Amino acid sequence: MPAWTIAAGGLAALIVLTHIGVYSRSMVAIDGEPSNMFPTTVCIAALAVFQFGLVECVRPVTERWLARRRPWLWTVAMNAVAMTVFTWHMTALVIAVALYQAAGGVLLRTPSAAWWAQRPLWIVLPGVILAGLVPIFIRFEKFAAPAKCPLAEGAERATVGSRAGIVEDPQAG
């Protein structure tokens, strides 16, 4: 099945489900509306199918891009801190909100033009805070292999190196 049909099917299902009056139009919890996340509803499944279809649509381009050394090394580096980012991103957001309100800022609740104008702030500010938190907590994600374990060291070097095009696979013929 072509990827665009998967995306279109997921989107169509999502539109129908959120317009028949049974499910909220918001996929996340917001004031005054029931959440589609808690408990998870069929809308989240439709959203996942839509997103999967979109990812599959761009997969060939993304694979070609990631075949290049620099983008792949960047991907490996970001994956190395993925759990730390996931664990601390909400803490960064809470700190950002606290700083914003302490500076006299008012959080807008309705999606108006002013609300949309604030969106870049809510990406950049928590991102900057998270960038400060990651170096503090990354040490808990990084586990070193025992010093006298050449098998583990060789496996790690081969895995990261071969994907980055640095180490040749001796068994690749």
- 115-153 pLDDT, tens digit each: 889 999 999 999 999 999 999 988 887 765 555 555 545
**In the chain, domain spans:** 3-66, 69-140
> Tens-digit pLDDT profile for the chain (173 aa)?
899 999 999 999 999 999 998 888 888 777 777 888 888 899 999 999 999 999 999 999 999 999 999 999 999 988 989 999 999 999 999 999 999 999 999 888 877 899 889 999 999 999 999 999 999 988 887 765 555 555 545 545 545 555 555 544 444 54
Residue 108: predicted pLDDT: 86
Cα distances (angstroms) measured from residue 107 to each of 95, 97, 100, 118, 144:
14, 8, 8, 9, 43
What percent of the residues of the chain are helix, what percent strand, and what percent coil, each to the nearest 5?
70, 0, 30
DSSP string, 104-147: T-----S--HHHHHHHHHHHHHHHHHHHHHHHHHGGGT--PPPT
Residue 169: predicted pLDDT: 46
What is the sign, positive or negative, of the torsion defined by CA atoms of 88, 93, 99, 101? negative
